[in-house]
């Protein structure tokens, strides 16, 4: 999808504002007499992932797709998000529903995409304090995403609407751009009885599991 320069500038401005807010929060925590280094590191790594994902989504080089297992990606994302989730008193779980066949994808890009979606949910006020990183089959392929039993209203807006978005919606917008690079669409899904955001990926014809 081609974007007007004004849309790109507006989106970049909102993304820069979010990263600046993150840096200010990190700085304020670092200046405390008894600094929580784990929380500081989690915030810093999260901001770096957002910047890396945006740069990857902006590249023009073709991504090389290969067979990867959904469970291995979800476990990596759970590991990535654990410090940030813990700092926000959120429990992180992995849920698999009938997905044994590998997907065909660019592993790092899918990992970055799911990190962004997960971070967007972490930033919401979740009363149960619970996020599920899940995967299930659909008629179009294999869905991977982040879900919660009590997700507040959260919308995936177009780039033209980003001047009025909150931080979570900016994260979803970056994820959507990355999804376009992966030839898939980030959108809202249901996983069991939970709501969240994710993307559908084609299954690989290779039958054996790939780590």
pLDDT at residue 2, as a whole number: 37
Q: What is the mean pLDDT of residues 19-34?
A: 68
Nearest to 94 by CA among 102, 105, 84, 82: 82
DSSP per-residue string spanning the chain: ----HHHHHHHHHHHHHHHHHHHHHHHHHHTSTT--HHHHHHHHHHHHHHHHHHHHHH--SPPPPEEE-HHHHHHHHHHHHHHHHHHTT-EEEEEEES--SPEEE-HHHHHHHHHHHHHHHHTS--SS-EEEEEEEEETTEEEEEEEETTPPP-----GGGGGG--HHHHHHHHHHHHHHHTT---EEEEETTEEEEEEEEPBPS--S---
Specify whether the CB–CB gap between 93 and 131 falls below 8 A: yes
pLDDT at residue 13, as a whole number: 63
pLDDT at residue 1, as a whole number: 40
pLDDT at residue 97, as a whole number: 78
Residue holding tokens 């429990």?
91
pLDDT tens digits, one per residue of 124-146 = 867 778 899 999 988 889 999 99
pLDDT of residue 160 exceeding 80, the answer is no
CA distance 68 to 75: 12
């Amino acid at each position: 999808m081609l974007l007007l320069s004004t849309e790109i500038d507006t989106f970049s401005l909102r993304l820069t504002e979010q990263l600046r807010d993150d840096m200010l929060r990190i700085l304020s925590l670092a200046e405390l007499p008894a600094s929580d280094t784990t929380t500081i590191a989690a915030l810093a790594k999260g901001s770096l992932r957002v910047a890396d994902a945006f740069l990857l989504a902006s590249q023009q080089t073709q991504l090389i797709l290969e067979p990867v297992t959904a469970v291995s990606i979800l476990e990596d994302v759970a590991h990535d998000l654990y410090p940030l989730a813990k700092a926000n008193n959120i429990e992180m779980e992995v849920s698999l529903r009938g997905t044994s066949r590998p997907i065909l994808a660019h592993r790092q890009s899918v990992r970055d995409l799911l990190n962004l979606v997960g971070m967007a949910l972490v930033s919401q006020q979740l009363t149960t304090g619970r996020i599920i990183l899940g995967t299930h089959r659909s008629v179009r392929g294999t869905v991977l995403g982040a879900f919660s039993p009590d997700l507040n209203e959260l919308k995936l807006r177009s780039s033209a609407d980003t001047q009025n978005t909150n931080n979570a919606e900016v994260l979803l917008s970056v994820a959507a751009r990355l999804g376009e690079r992966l030839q898939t669409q980030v959108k809202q899904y249901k996983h069991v009885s939970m709501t969240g955001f994710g993307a559908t990926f084609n299954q690989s014809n290779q039958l054996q599991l790939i780590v």
